[in-house]
């Protein structure tokens, strides 16, 4: 792959120190994202998807949450490589990355915008902060962005408050704000979960159009595999804070290796598919009381003796496909040194 | 917006009328007529009441006529600034109130300013540093402020003033400025006295306001827009002040309504102890001596202040919160 690397996450461990014990929200996660591609991130609720993205934005809630030593998040979008884990969350350097180089769209379009400021002023705030332009110029940019995300009558909408917009329009405004400074990397944390299906489709189209235009790398978090099929180039499957499988979107859908990925796939309805829907049995274990060996073993239909003894390493099936499961060792996957 | 304000003002009118009726009933409550009270009072003072005077008073207050006539006679004086007579002081009620209303409002505003300028930042800081030493210390101090009775604090401060600074802090002015025309020196002298009742009355309400601000901040800090603001790259100061506190303070604004009259009646005890020329002590006095026109007018004033305060709250709230403005 000749594509330019934008972000590299290595050995990322984000732990919460709570009264109940240490919650390993993100536990030794490795991945990379390249310019212009969309990495889909899937997994059941609580498996650490949002915490991974918050770690990248350096917005892990303090003081309970903490990145463990050895974690590394490298941003390649600037001339010099920046290790985000070495920056203090409130430092100038970190803040000049946030919203400027990398932006984030959140799940709740209803509450993600400040209710007492117009959408225009919220976009202008970001633009002025990072681009050092005058109020008038920033307003022009804001109107242009609002137009780009397909909100009708942008000159009028720019002065409206979030509550005057529908959910879909608000999410468009959110996208306009996130993209207003041309970030090279965009995290979308379940941006369409709260929207109905037609609006969702529109927003996904919009994001793809804008991605084509700006060549943005997108990390798209969702638990909806249909959405993944729609938008992602590569897919990362997470379970209990760990990445269990990474592959191209085709590989994930047609050649899934990890029993958890297979479970997720067979629990969604597919058009023209006559197989019965089989939800994954059992529930996600409590992150403070994880089982020995493979964390998925208690729910896994293929669990073997070794699974209950030793955590499987990550095996590379091919250049683009890696799986964290003992079954892949038998299939001849080569062990990844990490 | 203008519509909203006009609508609000119109809604206040029936309320004011209702209050005036209740007040009038209260005025009529004590046994005996004003006239009897008046004559008795005059005789006690050794004066004679001529038949002409009796007739004039009867005419003015509609005595002997049906109650509603009396009510209208009483209320129709209001636009002219005629609120009846204080039988005890032998003065028009309007004059007594005029002497005191200025200081009362001054004191109230100073107290509001004092409590807000401390409670808001402390509330914000306590929320941002929840469970820190600072948070606990200020919660503790705040509750001490509530727990100490106003009059005790007033006495204590006066004691400190005399003992350590050799200054009499009671009243609003020192002896030499009493009854003097306004001058810069008099103004400074007033400030020297003003802080005592401001602190005394202010500390009583401080803890409650800190708790409100802190709670509001904690509620708001959990909301998604805070993450959005941080994700934009805004500094934490801007996030807290421009985004979170800006919203957390909204419900605060609605406390103005009950704060205004509360400050006047709440300041009564401190007013008595400190000998302040405000309305609180006067009201108590009037009630004790059944000086009903004076008492009634002050009560009417307090109730009107509540309504005006609520009106101000609502309008301010509409200004600071677009969601209300557009409803
Ligand atoms: N402030 C916190 N204190 C303690 N544990 C936390 C905290 N925030 C998150 N966690 C834990 O971290 C884990 C990962 O949370 P995260 O929000 O990343 O999940 P997610 O994959 O995004 O789930 P969802 O699909 O529901 O959004 C969860 O199990 C949660 O219990
Ligand atoms: S390692 Fe074993 S238990 Fe874990 S997913 Fe693979 S087969 Fe199942
Ligand atoms: Mg999440």
Mutate which: A103, A116, A129, vs B, most B CBs within 10 A: A116
If we measure between CA atoms, which residue out of B127, B97, B130 comes closest to residue B249? B127
Cα B263 to middle of ligand 3, angstroms: 48
Residue A246's domain comprises 1-109+183-338
pLDDT at A276 over 80: no
Can you read off the two tokens belonging to residue A320? 């683009």
pLDDT at A271 over 60: no
Rounded to an integer, the average pLDDT of A158-172 is: 91
Q: Rounded CA gap, A105 and B210, in Å?
A: 34
Does the residue A149 lie in any domain?
A: no
pLDDT above 70 as % of chain B: 95
Q: Rounded CA gap, A94 and B54, in Å?
A: 85
Does the residue A34 lie in any domain?
A: yes
Cα A53 to middle of ligand 2, angstroms: 26
Does the residue A248 lie in any domain?
A: yes
Predicted confidence at residue A124, as pLDDT, reads 96
Does the residue A278 lie in any domain?
A: yes
* Kind of pairing between the strands at A185-189 and A217-221: parallel
Chain A residues closer than 8 Å to B230 by CB? 59, 98
Nearest to B232 among A129, A161, A164 (CB): A129
- Is the link from the previous residue into B11 a cis peptide, with omega within 30 of 0? no
Does the residue A178 lie in any domain?
A: no
| A51 ligand 1 Cβ < 6 A | yes
Predicted confidence at residue B200, as pLDDT, reads 84
| A288 ligand 1 Cβ < 6 A | no
Predicted confidence at residue A273, as pLDDT, reads 55
Chain A residues closer than 8 Å to B227 by CB? 59, 104, 106, 112
Give chain B's residues under pLDDT 50. Answer: none
Q: What is the CATH number of the domain that holds A14?
A: 3.40.50.300
Q: Rounded CA gap, B147 and B196, in Å?
A: 18
Predicted confidence at residue B220, as pLDDT, reads 95
Torsion of the alpha carbons at A114, A115, A120 and A126, rounded to the nearest 10: -10
Q: Rounded CA gap, A299 and A310, in Å?
A: 16
Does the residue A204 lie in any domain?
A: yes
Predicted confidence at residue A338, as pLDDT, reads 46
What total number of domains does chain A contain?
1
Do residues B270 and B200 lie in contact, with contact meaning Cβ atoms separated by under 8 Å?
A: yes
* Angle formed at CA A35 by CA A30 and CA A37, multiple of 5 degrees: 75
pLDDT above 70 as % of chain A: 94
Query: Could you give all domains of chain B from N- to C-terminal order, each with its CATH number?
Result: 2-92 (no CATH), 94-325 (1.10.3720.10)
Q: Rounded CA gap, B255 and B120, in Å?
A: 13
Do residues A175 and A206 lie in contact, with contact meaning Cβ atoms separated by under 8 Å?
A: yes
Nearest to B225 among A90, A113, A126 (CB): A113
Do residues B109 and B309 lie in contact, with contact meaning Cβ atoms separated by under 8 Å?
A: no
Chain B residues closer than 8 Å to A90 by CB? 235-236
- DSSP string over B146-182: HHS-HHHHHHHHHHHHHHHH-----SSS-GGGTTPPP
Indicate the SS3 state at residue A82.
strand
Q: Rounded CA gap, A105 and A219, in Å?
A: 10
Does the residue A121 lie in any domain?
A: no
Q: Any bridge partners for residue A242, and if so which?
A: A239
Does the residue A170 lie in any domain?
A: no
Q: What is the mean pLDDT of chain B?
A: 83
Q: For the segment A84-107, what is each residue's pLDDT rounded down to a tens digit?
A: 999 999 999 999 999 999 999 988
Measure B6 CA to nearest chain A CA, in Å.
23
Do residues A322 and A247 lie in contact, with contact meaning Cβ atoms separated by under 8 Å?
A: yes
């Amino acid at each position: 792959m000749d594509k330019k690397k934008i972000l590299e996450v290595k050995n990322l461990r984000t732990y919460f120190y709570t009264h109940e014990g240490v919650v390993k929200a993100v536990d030794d996660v490795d991945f990379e994202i390249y310019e212009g591609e969309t990495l889909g991130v899937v997994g059941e609720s609580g498996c650490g998807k949002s915490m991974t993205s918050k770690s990248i934005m350096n917005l892990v809630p303090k003081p309970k949450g903490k990145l463990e030593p050895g974690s590394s998040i490298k941003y390649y979008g600037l001339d010099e490589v920046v290790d985000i884990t070495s920056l203090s969350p409130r430092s100038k350097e970190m803040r000049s990355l946030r919203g400027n180089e990398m932006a984030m769209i959140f799940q709740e379009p209803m509450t993600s915008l400040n209710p007492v400021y117009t959408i225009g002023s919220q976009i202008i705030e970001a633009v002025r902060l990072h681009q050092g332009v005058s109020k008038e110029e920033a307003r022009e940019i804001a109107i242009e962005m609002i137009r780009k995300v397909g909100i009708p009558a942008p000159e009028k909408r720019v002065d409206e408050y979030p509550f005057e917009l529908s959910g879909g329009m608000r999410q468009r405004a959110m996208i306009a704000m996130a993209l207003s400074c041309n970030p090279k990397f965009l995290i979308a944390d379940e941006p369409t979960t709260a929207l109905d299906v037609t609006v969702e489709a529109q927003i996904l189209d919009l994001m793809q159009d804008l991605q084509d235009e700006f060549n943005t790398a997108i990390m798209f978090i969702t638990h909806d595999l249909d959405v993944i099929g729609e938008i992602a180039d590569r897919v990362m499957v997470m379970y209990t804070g760990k990445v269990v499988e990474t592959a191209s979107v085709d590989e994930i859908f047609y050649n899934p290796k990890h029993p958890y990925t297979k479970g997720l796939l067979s629990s969604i309805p597919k058009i023209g598919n006559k197989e019965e829907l089989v939800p994954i049995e059992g529930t996600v274990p409590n992150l403070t009381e994880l089982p020995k060996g493979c964390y998925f073993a208690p729910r896994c239909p293929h669990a073997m003796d070794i699974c209950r003894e030793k955590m499987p390493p990550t095996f590379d099936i091919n250049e683009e496909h890696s799986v964290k499961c003992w079954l892949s060792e038998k299939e001849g996957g080569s062990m990844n040194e990490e | 917006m203008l519509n909203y304000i006009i609508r609000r003002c119109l809604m206040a009118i029936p309320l004011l009328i209702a209050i005036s009726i209740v007040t009038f009933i209260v005025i009529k409550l004590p046994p005996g007529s004003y006239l009897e009270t008046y004559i008795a009072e005059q005789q006690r003072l050794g004066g004679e009441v001529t038949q002409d005077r009796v007739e004039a008073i009867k005419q003015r207050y509609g005595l002997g006529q049906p109650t509603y006539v009396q009510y209208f006679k009483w209320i129709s004086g209001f636009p002219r600034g005629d609120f009846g007579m204080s039988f005890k002081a032998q003065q028009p009620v309007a004059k007594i109130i005029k002497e005191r209303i200025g200081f009362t409002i001054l004191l109230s505003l100073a107290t509001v300013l004092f409590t807000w300028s401390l409670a808001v930042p402390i509330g914000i800081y306590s929320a941002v540093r929840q469970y820190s030493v600072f948070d606990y210390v200020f919660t503790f101090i705040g509750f001490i402020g509530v727990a100490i009775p106003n009059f005790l604090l007033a006495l204590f401060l006066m004691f400190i003033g005399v003992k350590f600074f050799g200054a009499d802090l009671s009243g609003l002015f020192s002896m030499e400025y009493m009854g003097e025309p306004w001058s810069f020196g008099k103004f400074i002298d007033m400030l020297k006295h003003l802080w005592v009742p401001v602190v005394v009355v202010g500390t009583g309400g401080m803890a409650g306001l800190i708790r409100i601000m802190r709670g509001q901040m904690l509620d708001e800090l959990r909301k998604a827009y805070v993450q959005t603001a941080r994700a934009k790259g805004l500094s934490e100061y801007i996030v807290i002040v421009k985004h979170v506190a800006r919203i957390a303070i909204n419900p605060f604004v609605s406390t103005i309504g009950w704060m205004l009259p509360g400050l006047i009646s709440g300041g009564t005890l401190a007013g008595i102890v400190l000998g302040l020329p405000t309305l609180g002590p006067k009201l108590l006095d009037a009630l004790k001596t059944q000086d009903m026109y004076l008492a009634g007018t002050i009560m009417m004033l307090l109730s009107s202040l509540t309504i005006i305060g609520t009106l101000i709250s609502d309008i301010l709230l509409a200004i600071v919160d677009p969601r209300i403005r557009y409803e």
